[in-house]
Amino acid sequence: MKSKSFSLAMVFAIGFMAFAQAQQKEIKLPPEATEFWEPEPRVVTPGAENHLPPSDAIIIFDGKNLDNFKSLKTGGAAEWTVADGILTVKPGTGDILTKEAFGDVQIHLEFSAPTEIKGQSQGRGNSGLLIMERYEVQVLDSYENRTYSNGQAASIYKQYPPLVNAMRKPGEWNTYDVFFTAPRFNADGMVISPAKVTVIHNGVLVQNAREIKGPTEYIGIPNYKAHDAELPFKLQDHGDLVKFRNIWVRKL
């Protein structure tokens, strides 16, 4: 009798979840509905650091060219600017993504916010690292720049704020070390284990094995959809002159 009651409860729970998801899709939410401002991550001052790639790293950008990237907009050559060993967003050319696809992966990159400060909140030094083209670790100038907590630098965008704000001043270099476990899906396309991510920002742990709730959504609630086991990651053109250097990965 207990097993029958348990089975009925499980059927009801699954049906209710499916109904709730369907209802969520019908509700048109403004973007502010998925922003939260409190608590505000406290500020910490990161220590000096220098991360050189290990011997088994795959070098994505070594300061010389964009041969390992392509344009998301055209599918052709990436059009961002490369000069003096630095990769800079070229506004209007669109996102760039790696030619190689990855599943479970360690990603290292360094970025610098523009020294000419324009705008505030999300309008200042905005870009993004989108793993598997859909799970975003936010890139933003969050140095003395208040925005919603789950949208500042090193947040899992619109999902988890960073544990602390370890951002350096505009013009200084920030380091992300991201450890990502890809989601797993069954044959029917249902997620059986969600994606997980750990982020170290300037040597400070800011995301600790977070279970990602689904693809990044600017508006609305994230919901998983089955996708390939390996996909490229992309860097976002958000109209700001964000700089990048020293991008490498390790397949896990």
Structural domain for 245, as ranges: 2-251
Show the tokens assigned to 46.
């990161």
Report the pLDDT value the prediction gives residue 159, as an integer from 0 to 100. Answer: 97
- The CATH number for 195's domain is 2.60.120.560
pLDDT single digits (tens) 136-172:
999 999 999 999 999 999 999 999 999 999 999 999 9
Report the pLDDT value the prediction gives residue 7, as an integer from 0 to 100. Answer: 54
DSSP string of 197-217? EEEEETTEEEEEEEE--SS--
Please determine, for residue 184, whether its predicted confidence score (pLDDT) is greater than 80: yes
| Interatomic CA distance for residues 217 and 104, integer angstroms | 22
- What's the structural domain count of the chain? 1
Please determine, for residue 11, whether its predicted confidence score (pLDDT) is greater than 70: no
**Regarding predicted confidence, which is higher, 119 or 41?**
119
Give the global pTM.
0.83
Amino acid 207 reads Q
Amino acid 240 reads D
| Interatomic CA distance for residues 124 and 242, integer angstroms | 10
Output the CA torsion 45→51→56→62 (10° steps). Answer: 120
In 3D space, the residue among 125, 118, 161 whose CA is nearest the CA of residue 142 turns out to be 125
pLDDT single digits (tens) 98-142:
999 999 999 999 999 999 988 889 989 999 999 999 999 999 999
% of the chain exceeding 70 in pLDDT: 86
Region class of 186: left (phi > 0), else alpha (psi between -120 and 50), else beta? beta
Q: How high is the mean pLDDT of the chain?
A: 89
Element (H, E) at 60: strand 58-61
Amino acid 24 reads Q
Please determine, for residue 48, whether its predicted confidence score (pLDDT) is greater than 70: no
Amino acid 59 reads I
